[in-house]
Amino acid sequence: MSRIEQLIGEIEEYIDGCKFQPLSNTKILVNKEELEELLVELRLRIPDEIKQYQKIISNQDAILTDARTQADAMIEKATAQTNELVNEHEIMQRAYEAANQVIEDANNQAQTIVDAAVRDADNIRQGAVQYTQDMLKSVENIINHTMEGAQGRFDSFMSSLKSSYDIVSANRAELDHSIQRNDEAAAAEPEQQNQQ
């Protein structure tokens, strides 16, 4: 696991541990310094990893240059051998045949080296793209998980508030009913005394 993934995990844990602001289901209370420290380190780490992948991708140019240099050297060597053979009159025909074969072999080897270098460069580029895709998917999953966790905590909080509200309302209704009965009883007493 890279340090960037560790930092993202730490940020996710930090956000999960934060409390909601009173009367809010979307805002949380965070320690600005702690969150800024994590974000600063994340910003510092991302360029290092990107530079590593850029360096790998830039190496493809060196691989291709090396392949071309080797191919040129082989062709130059084949040409020199051809010139030497041509200079000897008796074996001129064999010299042409050998030189052509050497040039063909050199061209085949050079093409093989160039093809391998291009494949390696494509694989490196594809790996860098896949890594970036995986990182973005990981961040997307973390954000989604954080949102779901926050929604669950909010739903639980609202359920608890509703339960408390129902209890308070029931107690208040019961008190109102009790007060009304006492008022009716108090009103009835003077009438009874008057009748006696």
pTM for the whole structure: 0.35
Percent of the chain with pLDDT over 90: 16
pLDDT for 31-69, tens place per residue?
888 888 888 887 887 776 677 766 777 776 776 777 788
Report the C-alpha gap between 58 and 173 in whole angstroms: 77
What digits encode the pLDDT tens for the residues 116-135?
A: 999 998 999 898 889 889 88
User: What counts of helices (H) and strands (E) characterise the chain?
Assistant: 3, 2
Give residue 23's region: left, alpha or beta (phi > 0; psi -120 to 50). left
* C-alpha–C-alpha distance, residues 164 and 173, integer Å: 14
Give rounded-to-5 percent helix, strand, coil for the chain: 90, 0, 5
| Confidence band of 167 (pLDDT split at 50, 70, 90) | very high
CA 85 – CA 189 distance, rounded (Å): 141
Name residues whose C-beta falls within 8 Å of residue 120's C-beta, 6 or more positions apart in sequence. Answer: 60, 63
